Structures are given as structure tokens and as C-alpha cells.
Chains A and B, each alone.
Chain A
Amino acid sequence: MAKEVLRTENLVKRFGSFTAVAGVSITFYEGERVGLIGPNGAGKTTLINLISGHLKPDQGRIFFKGIDITKEHPHRKVMVGLNRTFQIPAVFKSLTVYQNVYLAAKKAGQTDSVNKLLSRLDLEKVGHIKAANLPYGVMKILELAMAMASNPIVLLLDEPTAGLTIQEKKQIIQHLSTFNERQTIVMVEHDIDLVFGFAGRVVVMHRGEVLADGKPEEIAVDTRVREVYLG
């Protein structure tokens, strides 16, 4: 059986009277490819924000490899192996592509791998270009490259293909397939076909709670999921 790497216990987040995440308890295992889906406002991004430390939970706890990391700052969470990407690509716009990836690799002590990574993600030709001047799709790939350079144990991807063309989406998925099989990837995504093709496990959220959790083929025929999301 695969080892547990990340677990949440009864996570709750409220914004005023609105409860965005309502007691989510979920466990992720080593090497899993997980799709996190649900309608808008279901609490997917908020859950990612809570786990990564971008937001503080009102209630509940988060464990990484059995250690309570609920109150850790985001940069400390990254150092233990938990990283994330954002819906709108978060890159350093005044730096070149090479410098962006170098900054990530330096912190992970892997500067030797920068050129190899740029080549693997087809970024070597734009290495000298400032990130501000990149097309949106390339910016998304750059953010992924930075996350990869930090060599995470768990990577949380928040809508990595939002706003991309079909070709660019394929590229992202192809790059994700090059991840080490021991690395865990949790992907929030609205493109159901893409999720079902990529993930070995799908978690469906609705109104801040986990509605269903299972293999893609089980989720596809789940009546509750069809009712609230898949239609």
C-alpha cells in the first residue's frame, strides 16, 4: 500500500457568513495523481490555499508525512516538500526565464539541473527573455518549471491549463507526465476530459465538502456527482 504523504483533518474556512471549506478530511498518498473537481465556489482553490499556507484555517489540522504543519509559514512548507502553482501564473516578471528557474533551483540546492529542466520543458530558447514578455501559455509552463525545480514531494496545481489552447494543454499534461512517479500531484481543474485522462483518483467537492472520492470511472457514474456537476 502507498504511503500517506498529506492529510487534512476537519479543515474549515469561513469568509464572514460564507463557509468555503466545511470540515474537509482527506488523505493523499505517495505518487498519486489526483484531480480535484467541482462547480465554481465548491471550495477547491480555498482548500489548496489552506494546505499550502496561503490562507490560515479557522479549524482543523494539516499533516505532512505525519507532522503537523497547520501553522507553518508557506516558505517552511515548501522546504519540507509541499509546493503549488496559481491560477494566474506567479512568476518573476522582471527576471529572465533562466533566472526564474535558477531562483527556484537554488533554494532546492539543485542549480546543476536548471539547463536540463529548461531543455525538458522546451524553455531553453527563451531562457534569456524576461518573463514579462512571454506569451501566457509559456508563462504557465515557466511556473510549472519553477515548481519542478524545487523538487516537491507534493505539488498542488491550481487550474494549470486555464486559458490555454488545446495544444498548450497537451503540452502541460505531457510535462506533468515527466514527474517522478513518487511525487504526488493534486490538480484543480475544470476540464473534465483532461482530469479523467490524467488522474488515477478524482475528488469532487461541493459546497465546501467532499462529495465523492474515487477512481475516474467510479466518479463518472456517480449519480450525486452527475446531479451537481457533470450533468
Chain B
Amino acid sequence: MGLVWRKIVDVVAIIILAVAVLFTRDTFLIYLMSLFMIFAIFALSYNIILGYLKLISFGHSLFFAAGAYGVALSSKLAPPDMLLSFLFGIVLAAVLSVTVGYITLRHSQIYFAMLTLAFAMLFYALLIKWRDFTGGSDGISGIPRVSVLFSFPTTESYYIFVLLCFTVAFILLKLIDESFIGIVFRGLGDNENRFKFLGYNPVKYRILALMLSGTFSGLAGTLYALLYRAVTPDIAYWTVAAEPLVMSLLGGSAYFLGPVVGAAVFVGITTAAARLAEIWQLIMGVIIAALLLGVRGGLLGVLERLWQKRF
């Protein structure tokens, strides 16, 4: 297999699967695949912090919600144009991630985790309390999927846009993973002392990592808001930040594709469990605990070990 083909085989496989899903014309399946791609972007972006820097953030719900509310508010306050709202959502998430990073990333480990949680909850409280502006606990609905250049009136037509965004995000994040900056991030996560004693400023690179991570989380948030054409403050709650954490761990945070695999399993389990019973969170919790306790290194870690045993 050629080197170029080996590098793009994963994204090509996902695109083929996504296009195949479109041809089924099954609205529910198309909706699920949209959700998978949005969560895959969210988990891949989260894994910049978890997989490279080895930090746990409970603040990514803030960036996700910033993207979503950026779309919703700009549609409400300015002449509605989906493309402008979409860009505004991403920029808002990027700005907030730099701001939060600047304040929190001088601290590490548990302090960073708790500070990001605090910022997520501050944002959540702001969304609830500033009712006139954000719609309070009702949120904002009726977000248009119409731009001067295009419109996506149905879930099926919007699916093409999600697929395009997913493909671009996937390629960009993979380029980051394989570039010098990916090596720098992994080095920083491995050994901060050595990192400093090579002349690199750890705080500067942590902020850069959080900015990239927050921006792509914001992208996931904008796509999520446009999928449902509505936002509610629940998406800013800190437990939403635990979802990409679980996805990354499920798939294997040490692998680039780990979060994507984790997102597929997560969407699959939550959907199946929700259909089974009203106690789906309990079922989900048991399955995740079993997977995490029994499958160290995630599903890709298990596959790698099996492959090494076999050959």
C-alpha cells in the first residue's frame, strides 16, 4: 500500500460510509450519521488536550456551547445568514478558548480540570440567567439553515454540509497530528521538565493546544445547533465535556482515530440503550465502566495487542 493511500485510507473509508448512508434515504440513519460526525469532531478536538497534553478538561462544554450559541445568537440579532452565523460561532469558541486557556493553563492536572469546570458552569449560569439575551432555560429555536449562497431545508441536505465540515476538520486535525506541532504537543504531555529544558515555553504551547481544541469543539457546537435548529443551556453543563472524554477513552486516546471509534461506539450505545428503556443512562454507565475497566488503551489498544499476538 502506498504511503499517501495509507495516510488517507481512514478518511476515505468514512466518506464512503457516509455517502452510502445518504443513499439509503433513511432519515433516522442520516441523522445518526450526522450526530456521529459532529461528536467525532468534538472528540478529536478534545483529544488534543487529553491524548497529547494528558490533561483532563471539564470546560469543553463551554466551547461546544459557545459555537452553538454563537450560531443561534447571531441568527437572532443580525440579519440571518447561516454562513456568517456559522463562522461567528467558531470565532466565538476560539476567542473563549484563548481567554480560558490564558487564565487556567498556568495550572496543571487537577487544578486545570477544576478551573475549566468552573468556567463551564459560569457560562452555563450566564446562559440560564441572561434570559432576555439567551432565552434562559428555553434556549433559542428556529435557527435558519439559509445563506445567501445556499440553503439546507432538510436533514438530508444539511448532511452534505456536515460531511464536508467533518472531512475538512478530520484532515486538518490529522495534519496537526503528523506535523511538528503534533510532536511538540506530545512532547509537552510526556515530560514538561524536559520540554522546558529544551527552551520551549509550556504555557504558550498549552494555550495554542487549547485554542485549536476549543476552535474545533466550537465547530462541532455550531454543527450541532444547526442540526437541531435549536440550542438549550444544557449543552454548556460540565457533564457534556465528559462525553468526548469518554469517547476518547473508549476508542483509545493514544491513537488519532481513537476518538472517532469512541464517538461511533458512543452514538451506537446511547441510541440502542435509549430505545431499550427509560433507564438508558444506567445501561450506558454499566457498559462504559465495563469497557474502561476491561479495555485499557481503548478499543484500538485492544485491537493492536490482538494484532501483535496474531503476527
B-binding residues in A (CB < 8 A):
52, 54, 73-75, 78-79, 83-84, 86, 90-95, 99-100, 102-104, 106-108, 143, 146, 150
Contact = CB atoms under 8 A, between A and B. Distances in A.
A78 to B, nearest CB: 4
Contact of A106 (B180, B190, B193, B201): B180
Nearest to A53: B196
B198 A107 contact: yes
Contact of A107 (B189, B199, B202): B199
Nearest to A104: B198
Interface of B: 180, 183-184, 186-187, 189-191, 193-202, 254
Contacts of B193: 54, 86, 90
B198 A78 contact: yes
Given A90-B194, A146-B194, A95 B199 contact: no
Given A91-B194, A92-B195, A94-B189, 14 more contacts: A75-B198, A75-B202, A78-B198, A91-B190, A92-B186, A92-B190, A93-B191, A94-B186, A94-B254, A95-B186, A103-B184, A103-B200, A146-B194, A146-B198
16 contacts: A75-B200, A75-B201, A78-B199, A83-B197, A90-B191, A90-B193, A90-B197, A92-B190, A93-B191, A94-B254, A95-B186, A95-B190, A100-B187, A103-B183, A106-B180, A108-B199
A75 B196 contact: yes
Contacts of A73: 196, 201
Contacts of A54: 193
Contacts of A102: 183
A75 B199 contact: yes
A92 B196 contact: no
Contacts of A83: 197
A51 B231 CA distance: 54
B190 A107 contact: no
B187 A92 contact: yes
B187 A103 contact: yes
A106 B179 CA distance: 13
A103 B198 contact: yes
Contacts of A103: 183-184, 187, 198, 200
Contact of A94 (B190, B196, B201, B202): B190
Nearest to B192: A90
B52 to A, nearest CB: 9
Nearest to B190: A92
A189 B200 CA distance: 27
Contacts of B197: 52, 74-75, 78, 83-84, 90
A142 B214 CA distance: 35
Contacts of B254: 94
B198 A93 contact: no
B134 to A, nearest CB: 41
Nearest to A79: B199
Contacts of B201: 73, 75
